[in-house]
Structure 1
Amino acid sequence: MPIDQHGAQPLSTQIRDDLARRIRAGEFNVGEKIPSLRALAADYGVAELTVHGAIRELQHAGVLESSTGRGTFVRALPDEVASNADALEALRAEVADLRERVEALEKERQSR
């Protein structure tokens, strides 16, 4: 677990990136529980709050999901989440384009 305690990148970002790498590598599979905050903090040699920040970022990205009293589980692979986000953005752009076309057609129809 290569974490540079004196590097320019924040520790939570380094841990987030390493956890994403470990998920991609199959160390933690989709649906599987990841180690507790305490265990991860001990592995990385940082405070639990630092690990919590990394976990929270991965939750917001849709990679991890926590269940009170049960733990934190892998929800999706990091690459799938990024791919889904790209596809969603493409759909939003297409909908915006279609909306503009419909509005233009409606204006044209009203001016007749």
Structure 2
Amino acid sequence: MAIDQNSPVPLSAQVKADIVRRISAGEYAVGEKIPSLRSLAAEYSVAELTVHAAVKELQYEGVLESASGRGTFVRSVPTTGPGAGGGDLVAAVEELRREVAELRGRVSAIEAENGGR
């Protein structure tokens, strides 16, 4: 899946969604190592930190796990749909909070440029 740089959906959320899709489709099987952050960043044409944020969320949700010096592995197939654990809801709320904070900063910068108008 191509990442849409112009989408209102954060890049890390798009990367996360695609990794989930790939796991659900069996492209990455449980127990299998996923590509490195660097490889995924190159594949999605995003910064490594963007991929890292997506992977961290999936680790928090129990979908991925990292082994120091070995890589990141699929721990479980993600569950989807309403009431499927709530991890996605928590991640969505946190993502919205980050977006609101970023937008506040942008609005403040624009207001400062325009003399507070």
Fold agreement, TM-score > 0.5: yes
Specify the SS of the correspondent of 1:85.
Answer: coil
Q: 2:75 aligns to what?
A: 75
Q: 1:20 aligns to what?
A: 20
Q: 1:30 aligns to what?
A: 30
Runs (5+) with no aligned partner, structure 2: 87-117
Specify the SS of the correspondent of 1:7.
Answer: coil
Q: 1:9 aligns to what?
A: 9
Q: Measure, in 2, the Cα distance between the counterparts of 1:10 and 1:84.
A: 22
Q: 1:72 to 1:83 in 2, by over 3 A?
A: farther
| Residues matched between the structures, number | 85
Q: 2:60 aligns to what?
A: 60
RMSD: 1.8
- Deviation >4 Å, runs of 4+: none
- The structure richer in helix per residue is 1
Q: Measure, in 2, the Cα distance between the counterparts of 1:43 and 1:70.
A: 20
Q: Measure, in 1, the Cα distance between the counterparts of 2:70 and 2:83.
A: 28
User: 1:85 offset after TM fit, Å?
Assistant: 2.8
Q: Measure, in 1, the Cα distance between the counterparts of 2:13 and 2:84.
A: 22
Larger radius of gyration: 1
TM-score normalised per structure 1? 0.71
